[in-house]
Structure 1
Amino acid sequence: MAPPASWIASRPEISVEDAAAALRRWWGLDGDLEDLPSERDRNLLARGRDGTPTHVLKIANLDERADFLACQDLAMARLADADVPVQRVLAAIDGRDLIPLGDPGPPLARVLTWLPGRTLASVQDPSSDLLTDLGAVMGRCATALLDFDHPAAHREFPWDVLRAPAVIGGVIDEVADPDRRTLLESVLDRLRADLVPRLSTLRRSVIQNDANDHNVLVSDDGRRVVGLLDFGDMIHSITAHEAAVACAYAMLGRDEPLDVMQSIIRGFAGECPLTADEVDALPQLVIARLATSVAMSARQGRLSDDPYLRVSEAPAWDLLARLHALAPSELRAASC
């Protein structure tokens, strides 16, 4: 996958009318379409004639590879069988899962089922039970993918925690605020000292890698997780990072972020038992994700004025500062 500058430049440009025509031609579906937010693709929600959401038309970034989209679909099928609430692929009329709208060539399009629910980001004060359920869902996800592999999941990707020090170090100079830049430099020094030496001791497998609070759907009563969206960041990396990503975003804006971490890790470990090395590394994995997030936001903010690309930036900076100020012993206690 290309770097962020290319993601933005190569987002597919296709009108709603042309997208609707493609949906009719290739999938035999009629209905109104409306845009959904996306970092690098073009996603459109399809509604039936009665206005009910039915499907999502996903038009991939022009730089996206067909084998990686196939990898995503295979992983989602496996997760569905493992009782992880994910979308299903709807085959086109001719039986193909992936249609090249360039006829031939990109952009590549596919249709996924719609999952009802509201985003975790919309839940003002998630309960411990909900957070534990989030951890359990991600634990089932990690366990189901432990013996799953695909060549396309082995790729260079800036959201891979194994590349976090290089990614963060490469954009520090683009952080305009001097206090934030100093914070990020200090965080990077600690990651190099505390996390990097441990990475070789941690299990590796394919992970979903993007359980942010906009990709997690919860029930209307806010008690359980009912959907996990978007496998575009999937990668072969550190297994425990699946829990760390969920923690990082669920902790944003919370009064007691370490309590959030404890609840999620408890649920995760119940479905995917963690090794002692993984438990010890989890707080630094969380910090690595937050630092990557603010670093990527700094770069993307210079390339596009799309607010979705910076939706988590301010709370991520705040949480990063809070966690970095804590003693390592306090952080490790929260992961046990």
Structure 2
Amino acid sequence: MDNATAADPRPTLTLQQATDLTLKLYGVTTAEISTLPSYYDQNFFLVDNEGTKYVLKIMNSEESKKATLLEVQTSAMSFLHQHGVPAQTAVPTSSGQLMSMEKIDCGHGAQTYCVRLLTYLPGKTVAESPMTTRDLYHVGKLVASMDKSLQQMVSPNQDVFQRNDVVWSLSNIPLIENYISVMDGDPLQDVIKAVIEQYKSQVQPKLSSFQKGIIHGDTNDQNIIVTPVGNGHHNVSGMLDFSLLSNDCYVFEVAITIMYAMLENARPLDVGGAVLAGWESIMTLNEDERDSLFLLVLGRLCQSLVYGRYNAQKNPTKNKKYILSTAKTGFRLLAQLWELGKKEVESKWFADASTFSDN
């Protein structure tokens, strides 16, 4: 999380640099280019002379050092695409490589960045779309299907998914304490501290009973693409950003999906049951996982609020709107959930989940 180094690891290519890079590596002549939001990396939307759309993704220089991890992530995207999950795939360079390490000067010294040209998935993000509970059921189902498909993936470098150092993992919620000072003076700081303490006493002892496998790790409302199908409903048409793929607990994926889908929903309490029902149509949570779901959702909300504020303060000019996107409704949501309490929220989620049938 803390990249307080002399050179900022985040790439800041100009549109011209990105255009030139695309031509050099892929032989693609860009007719149209614009920037897309990103937390740590840099993404460009581009259209070539034939009208084909792509996303050019430039990884930050710190993550770019993990070449093997990036190779396995790129393979996972292709694997999922082949298994019916709407994931982006990498376009080969002119020399046949799925990724290229490029030394680029973004104005603060040359650094090496991993560059990939990805296929474009049409649609809008969940954050931009009014989702019905039926839509959210299908989101939960697709996320579970994706994780179940990943159980079949075989790679000689699969050990790279053992990533215990990822601060965003829900097993690392206590690490929020290292950054809690950014909330000084905020009345919700005490709530965040209480969530951490309850996580330590009520969730940590159960971690060993949680089912594990390779999970996406960041199924947020900006990383799930949907397309309208009429009557106010949507189909899930894309899963983006596999940079947090890791061997972790399946219930973490459920909690992350619920939390971010609640942010933009006019009726946030209706989200949990719908996502849970969709998930459990593919994989069932055990008793300990269900009992931990409320605190895991709150834990992810606390991570997002604290780390978002920390990063916005540390790099005030970098993607601030995107980094703080959770904060817009997140503080109100945290206060609401905390006030209602675990028993009331989980009762509603589990009762709602039992009303769904698979169609």
Q: Does 1:218 align with 2:226?
A: yes
Q: 1:35 to 1:254 in 2, by over 3 A?
A: closer
Report sequence identity in percent. 26
Q: CA offset at residue 198 of structure 1?
A: 1.3
| Distance in structure 2 (CA, Å) of the matches to 1:311 and 1:53 | 30
Of stretches 253-262 and 22-31 in structure 1, the one that deviates more from structure 2 is 253-262
Cα distance in structure 1, aligned partners of 2:243 and 2:7: 15
Contact 1:3–1:158 (Cα < 8 Å) also in 2: no
Post-superposition offset of 1:81: 2.5
Q: Corresponding residue for 2:322?
A: 308
**Of residues 176, 179, 183 in structure 2, which corresponds to 1:171?**
179
Give the letter aligned to residue 12 of structure 1.
P
Does 2:291 match 1:280? yes
Deviation track 1:17-64 (CA, whole Å, cap 9, x = no partner) reads: 1221121121111112211111111111111337x4611111111111
Which structure 2 residue ranges, 5 or more long, are not aligned?
105-109, 351-359
Distance 1:7 1:81, change over 3 A: farther
Contact 2:3 2:9 in 1 (8 A): no
User: CA separation of 1:177/1:71 partners in 2, compared to 1, >3 Å: closer, same or farther?
Assistant: farther
Q: Does 131-140 or 99-108 show the bigger shift? A: 99-108
1:105/1:11 Cα in 2 relative to 1: closer, same or farther (>3 Å)? closer
Q: C-alpha offsets along residues 153-188 of structure 1, whole Å, 9 cap, x if unaligned?
A: 22211111111112x111111213331211211221
1:206 partnered with 2:207: no
Partners of 1:324 and 1:287 lie apart in 2 by 8
The answer to whether structure 1 residue 112 and structure 2 residue 118 are counterparts is yes
Listed as ranges, the gaps of 5+ residues in structure 1 are none
- The amino acid across from 1:116 in the alignment is P
Is the Cα contact below 8 Å between 2:127 and 2:264 reproduced in 1? no
Give the conservation status (yes or no) of the 8 Å contact 1:55–1:113.
yes
Q: CA–CA distance in 1 between the matches of 2:327 and 2:236?
A: 24
State the aligned residue count: 332
Is the alpha carbon distance of 1:5 and 1:292 closer, same or farther for their aligned partners in structure 2, counting shifts above 3 Å? farther
Deviation at 1:238, TM superposition (A): 1.2
Confirm or deny: 8 A CA contact 1:142 1:272 kept in the other structure.
no
TM-score (norm 1): 0.92
Q: Which residue of 1 aligns with 2:135?
A: 130
TM-superposed deviation, 1:254: 3.4
C-alpha contact (below 8 Å) 1:253/1:319 kept by paired residues = no
- 1:277 CA displacement: 2.3
Residue 325 of structure 1 aligns to which amino acid in structure 2? E
SS at match of 1:109: strand
Partner secondary structure for residue 61 of structure 2: coil
Q: 1:36 to 1:301 in 2, by over 3 A?
A: same
User: 1:86 aligns to what SS in structure 2?
Assistant: coil
Change (3 A) 1:43 1:6: farther
Contact kept? 2:25, 2:93, Cα under 8 Å: yes
Partners of 1:87 and 1:264 in 2: CA distance:
23
Cα RMSD over matched residues? 2.2
Partner of 1:34: 34
Aligned to 2:95, what secondary structure does the other structure show? coil
Q: Determine the structure 1 residue equivalent to 2:201.
A: 193
The aligned runs of 1:284-303 (5 Å cut-off) are 284-303=295-314
Q: Name 1:181's counterpart in structure 2.
A: 189
Q: Distance in 2 between matches of 1:223 and 1:78?
A: 25
Distance (Å, rounded) in 1 between the aligned partners of 2:201 and 2:5: 32
Contact 2:270–2:349 (CA under 8 A) maintained in structure 1: no
- State the distance in 1 between where 2:283 and 2:4 align: 36
In structure 2, the partner of 1:248 is 259
1:143 pairs with one of 148, 157, 169: 148
1:7-86 equivalence runs, <5 A: 9-31=8-30, 32-49=32-49, 52=51, 54-64=53-63, 65-86=66-87
Counterpart residue type for residue 157 of structure 1: V
Amino acid at match of 1:115: L
How far apart, in 2, do the equivalents of 1:153 and 1:133 lie?
Answer: 26
- Aligned residues of 2:295 and 2:342 also touching (Cα < 8 A): no
